[in-house]
C-alpha cells in the first residue's frame, strides 16, 4: 500500500514538473519566470511526497502495533488458561494425598515436581500431529506452606503477643543468622496491624496487616532481612502448627525449644525414611527435650503451588497459595503472576 501511494505521488510530481516545461515553449521571453515555476512545482511535489510517505508509514506502524498487541493478549490469555490447568493438577494431587490418610511428608507424590514437558505432547490427538502444537513447555511444583513458620501465630487476634511464638521466631532468626530483635519488630508489627481493624481506637499510624513476606517492609525491615526470612516464614489467614515432616532444620530449631541444628539435621534424615505420624515417634528421637510447648503438626492444610510456562524466551510463572479443606476441596487463597523475558535455558 505504501508503494502504491509513493508511486502515485511521484507521478503527480512528474506531471507538475513537466507542466512548466511545456509552458516554456510559449513563453520564451520569460526564462526567469519559468525557472521559478519549475522550482515551486518541484518543491511542492517534494512536500507532497514527504507528507504521503509519512502518513503511509504511520498507518503501517499503527497496523503493526495493533497486530502485536493482539498477539500479546492472545498469548497472555493462553498462558493464563494453561497455568489454570497446572493449578487443577495440584488440586487433584492434593485431594488424592488426603485420601491416603498418610502424614504430609516430602516422600509423598505431591512433593515430586512436574518436570518440564512440551505442551503439544499432551494436547495432540496423536503423535503425527504433535509437531503442529505450540512450542510451549509446562512445569510445576507443590510445597508445604506449613513447613514454614506462620507469622500469624504471633498475634492471631490482633491483641497481645504470644510470647511462646515470639520465642520460637527468635530462635529461628538466630538459626538463620539474624538478630533476635527482628522477631520483636515483627511481633510488634503484627500486633499493631491486627489491632487496627479490631479496635476503633487503634492508632492511625499503625501499619497495615501484610499479606505476603515481601510486605514485611511495612514494619521497617530492610530487603536483606526479608530475603533471609523468605524461605522460612509465611503469612496465612489463621494460626497453624509447623509440620515436622516438611519443615527445614532452621524452622524445626525455632519450633522446638532446645533443639540444635545438628539434631535437626538428623531428624530430616529419619523422616526421609519414615515420616513422623505422632508425638510419640518424635520423642523417641529427642530424648531429654520437653515437647510440651512445641506446637507441631504431622499433616498440612496449606500449600504453595508454582506453575511455570515457557514460550520461546518468554517465561510466565504463577504462584498460588491454596487451602486444602477436610473434605478434599482445595480453595485458592492468593494467586501471583510474575512475567519475565528470561533465556530459554534459565
Q: What tens-digit pLDDT sequence spans the chain (346 residues)?
A: 555 555 555 555 555 555 544 444 554 556 777 777 777 888 888 888 888 888 888 888 888 888 777 766 666 666 666 677 778 888 999 999 999 999 999 999 999 998 888 776 555 545 555 555 557 788 889 999 999 999 999 988 667 899 999 999 999 999 999 999 999 999 999 998 876 554 444 455 556 789 889 999 999 999 999 999 999 999 998 999 999 999 999 999 999 999 999 999 999 999 999 999 999 999 999 998 989 889 999 999 999 999 888 877 778 888 899 999 999 899 999 888 775 555 444 4
Query: From residue 205, how far is each of 184, 195, 208, 218 by CA, in Å?
Result: 19, 12, 9, 11
Q: From CA 244, how far away is CA 251, in angstroms rounded?
A: 9
Tell me: do 142 and 156 sit in the same domain: no
Query: From residue 280, how far is each of 241, 298, 300 by CA, in Å?
Result: 17, 12, 19
Asked whether the whole model's pTM tops 0.85, one would answer no
Terminal-residue alpha carbon distance, the chain: 42
Contacts of 252 (CB under 8 A, 6+ apart): 242, 244, 259, 264, 267
Tell me: do 157 and 223 sit in the same domain: yes
Q: Return the percent helix, strand and coil in the chain, to nearest 5.
A: 55, 15, 30
Tell me: do 153 and 201 sit in the same domain: yes
Contacts of 293 (CB under 8 A, 6+ apart): 164, 257
Cβ distance 210 to 150 under 8 Å?
A: no
Domain C-terminal end among 37, 66, 95: 66
Q: Does 79 fall in a domain? A: no
Tell me: do 324 and 240 sit in the same domain: no
**What is the tally of structural domains in the chain?**
3
Please tell me the predicted confidence (pLDDT) of residue 21.
47
DSSP H helices in 131-286? 163-175, 181-198, 223-229, 249-255, 261-273, 279-285
Q: What is the 8-class DSSP label of residue 132?
A: G
Q: Does 50 fall in a domain? A: yes
Tell me: do 277 and 178 sit in the same domain: yes
Q: Which range marks the domain in which residue 27 is found? A: 2-66
Cβ distance 103 to 281 under 8 Å?
A: no
Tell me: do 218 and 258 sit in the same domain: yes
Tell me: do 32 and 21 sit in the same domain: yes
Cell 492511625 found at = 204
Amino acid at each position: 500500500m505504501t508503494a502504491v501511494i509513493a508511486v502515485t505521488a511521484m507521478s503527480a510530481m512528474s506531471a507538475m514538473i513537466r507542466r512548466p516545461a511545456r509552458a516554456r515553449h510559449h513563453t520564451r521571453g520569460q526564462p526567469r519566470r519559468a525557472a521559478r515555476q519549475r522550482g515551486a512545482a518541484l518543491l511542492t511535489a517534494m512536500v507532497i511526497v514527504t507528507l504521503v510517505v509519512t502518513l503511509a508509514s504511520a498507518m503501517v506502524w499503527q497496523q503493526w502495533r495493533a497486530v502485536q498487541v493482539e498477539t500479546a493478549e492472545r498469548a497472555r490469555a493462553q498462558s493464563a488458561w494453561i497455568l489454570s490447568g497446572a493449578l487443577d493438577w495440584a488440586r487433584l494431587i492434593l485431594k488424592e494425598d488426603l485420601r491416603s490418610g498418610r502424614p504430609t511428608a516430602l516422600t509423598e507424590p505431591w512433593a515430586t515436581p512436574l518436570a518440564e514437558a512440551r505442551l503439544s505432547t499432551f494436547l495432540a490427538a496423536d503423535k503425527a500431529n504433535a509437531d503442529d502444537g505450540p512450542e510451549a513447555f509446562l512445569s510445576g511444583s507443590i510445597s508445604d506452606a506449613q513447613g514454614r513458620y506462620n507469622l500469624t501465630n504471633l498475634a492471631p487476634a490482633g491483641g497481645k503477643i504470644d510470647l511462646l511464638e515470639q520465642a520460637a521466631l527468635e530462635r529461628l532468626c538466630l538459626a538463620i543468622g539474624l538478630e533476635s530483635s527482628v522477631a520483636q519488630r515483627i511481633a510488634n508489627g503484627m500486633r499493631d496491624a491486627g489491632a487496627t481493624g479490631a479496635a476503633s481506637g487503634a492508632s492511625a499510624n499503625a501499619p497495615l496487616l501484610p499479606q505476603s513476606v515481601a510486605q514485611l517492609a511495612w514494619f521497617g525491615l530492610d530487603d536483606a532481612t526479608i530475603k533471609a526470612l523468605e524461605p522460612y516464614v509465611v503469612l496465612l489467614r489463621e494460626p497453624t502448627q509447623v509440620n515436622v515432616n516438611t519443615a527445614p532444620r532452621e524452622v524445626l530449631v525455632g519450633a522446638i525449644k532446645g533443639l540444635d541444628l545438628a539434631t535437626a539435621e538428623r531428624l530430616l534424615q529419619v523422616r526421609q525414611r519414615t515420616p513422623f505420624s505422632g508425638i510419640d515417634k518424635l520423642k523417641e528421637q529427642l530424648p531429654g527435650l520437653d515437647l510440651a510447648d512445641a506446637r507441631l503438626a504431622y499433616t498440612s492444610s496449606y500449600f504453595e503451588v508454582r506453575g511455570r510456562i515457557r514460550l520461546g524466551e518468554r517465561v510466565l510463572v504463577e504462584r498460588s497459595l491454596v487451602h486444602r479443606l477436610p473434605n478434599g476441596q482445595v480453595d485458592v487463597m492468593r494467586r501471583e503472576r510474575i512475567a519475565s523475558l528470561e533465556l530459554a535455558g534459565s
